[in-house]
Amino acid sequence: PVFGPDGEVEAVAGTTRDVTEIKESERRKDEFLATLAHELRNPLAPIRNSIHALSLNAKGNAAISQVCDMVERQVSHMVRLVDDLMEISRISRGVIELRRALTTLDTIVRSAVDTSTPLIVAAKHTLIVELPPESISLYGDGVRLAQVIANVLNNAAKYTDHGGHILLRAELEGPELVIRVRDNGIGIAANMLPLIFDMFVQVKNASSHTHGGLGIGLSLVKHLVEMHGGSLSATSAGAGLGSEFCIRLPCVVQQTDTSVPSPEGSELPEVKKRVLIVDDNEDAASSLALLIVRLGSEVQVANNGADALALMNSFRPDVALLDLGMPGITGFDIATQAKRTASMEHIKLIALTGWGQPEDRERTRAAGFDYHLVKPAALSELQKLLSSLA
């Protein structure tokens, strides 16, 4: 729905529908979102692979490197939007999982600020970050929590006129960690405050400030914070008077001086494997092949199931990366066949697919796959997986 600045609903479907009808249409919407996100992911994989391949070849050429960086950033943005869509359908079905571990406030905030910096810099905002002097550890999903903070920071950057001020302040209040993000932007009318956390809600007078959002960011953020046992709230003195978002996390919080290991190095060591890539999307297959060759592996490509099975016999790969949905013989069929054939039994099977939900992973496991990667797989992820295989 689109709301007017005073909170009135601009357009409403006016018919009375019974509950089953509404439920059915909700279900179809979720299915549509999941399918849409999946279809949008497919072209992203070859684009990302190609850009990695290009940038590996562009060492020393500043102009090309710059273009590669730009495309990479845009693809990452697209991947994020698609991920949001995917997550919204997961939220509707209540199947989001947290990967909790011990992490630090500092790591989370750093990662969030890194994500939001391009938007903040582009709008010439000043960002001030105030963290408590002591190091704070918390048990939670670091990636999700960084996503939460980045989302709120991005909104502050989006809904504030150029040259604004954004303040991120984190402090301990009793057992709670409280993170506040304040901006001096367009503000939020009081009657809209409770609505902005709903899915697909955007305030109409904010539309000149949007940057291709879908109106689902805050609903995701709220859900993720609540999954951590926390809460998210917003305050604003009114339109034009800035906003403040407050994230409260009652997670296990403790003071510590253990340092957290730095993120993985950017140099990727060689992987010498024989790799078969199977994908009916020729661009996806060949761009991935380019990448894996760069890692030092020997690669063959098949664009259909029959060729794949033939190559499994003649090329004798150590690993096969299989797209699932192909006309005729699918990735599932290939896996089943491979696991039944003595000469192919040793081949490690990796499903490379746009579908990444738990039930999808269960399906590939049942079909005999050893691993499940979601497209577009990052180079470092592939590298790690390939080198971990005996």
By CB under 6 A, how many residues form the interface with ligand ADP? 22
Region binding ligand ADP by CB under 6 A among candidate stretches 48-56, 210-218, 334-342, 359-367: 210-218
The residue among 6 and 362 lying less far from ligand ADP, judged by its C-beta, is: 6
- Pick the stretch among 42-50, 127-135, 202-210, 379-387 that binds ligand ADP (CB under 6 A): 202-210
Q: Return d(Cα 60, Cα 58) in angstroms, integer.
A: 6
Which residue, 3 or 332, has its beta carbon nearer to ligand ADP?
A: 3
87 sits near ligand ADP (criterion: CB under 6 A) = no
Q: Token digits for 338?
A: 């491979």
Give the Cα separation of 34 and 229 in Å (integer): 27
Question: How many angstroms separate the CA atoms of 294 and 34, rounded?
Answer: 33
**121: helix, strand or coil:** helix
Contact present, 368 and 339 (Cβ < 8 Å): yes
Q: Where in 152-171 is the site for ligand ADP (CB under 6 A)?
A: 155-156, 159
The stretch near ligand ADP (CB under 6 A) out of 14-22, 201-209, 341-349, 364-372 is: 201-209
Q: Is 203 in the site for ligand ADP (CB under 6 A)?
A: yes
According to the binding rule CB under 6 A, does residue 47 interact with ligand ADP?
no
Q: By CB under 6 A, tell whether 215 contacts ligand ADP.
A: yes
Measured between alpha carbons, how far apart are the two ends of the chain, in Å?
Answer: 53
Q: Does 120 bind ligand ADP (CB under 6 A)?
A: no
Going by C-beta distance under 8 Å and a sequence separation of 6 or more, which residues neighbour residue 20? none
Question: Shortest CA distance to 359 belongs to which of 27, 34, 79, 142?
Answer: 34
Q: Please choose, out of 17-25, 118-126, 181-189, 223-231, the segment that lies near ligand ADP by the rule CB under 6 A.
A: 181-189
- Residue 36 C-beta: closest distance to ligand ADP, Å: 16
**Segment contacting ligand ADP by CB under 6 A, of 97-105, 214-222, 277-285, 335-343:** 214-222
Residue bearing tokens 């990667």: 373
Give me 18's structure tokens.
């019974």
Subset of residues 293 to 332 that bind ligand ADP, contact rule: CB under 6 A: none
201: contact with ligand ADP by CB under 6 A:
yes
Residues 6+ apart with CB under 8 A from 53: 287, 290, 291, 294
For 5-49, give the DSSP string: TTS-BS--------HHHHHHHHHHHHHHHHHHHHHHHHHHHHHHH
Give me the 224-253 binding string for ligand ADP, x by CB under 6 A, dash otherwise: -------------------x----------
**Which region among 106-114, 133-141, 217-225, 251-259 touches ligand ADP (by CB under 6 A)?**
217-225
216 binds ligand ADP (CB under 6 A): yes
| Segment 100 to 119, residues that bind ligand ADP, using CB under 6 A | none
CA distance 223 to 216: 11
Least distance from ligand ADP to the Cβ atom of residue 223, Å:
11
Pairing type for strands 243-249 and 231-236 reads: antiparallel
Q: Which positions lie near ligand ADP, rule CB under 6 A? A: 155-156, 159, 183, 185-188, 196, 201-203, 206, 210, 213-219, 243
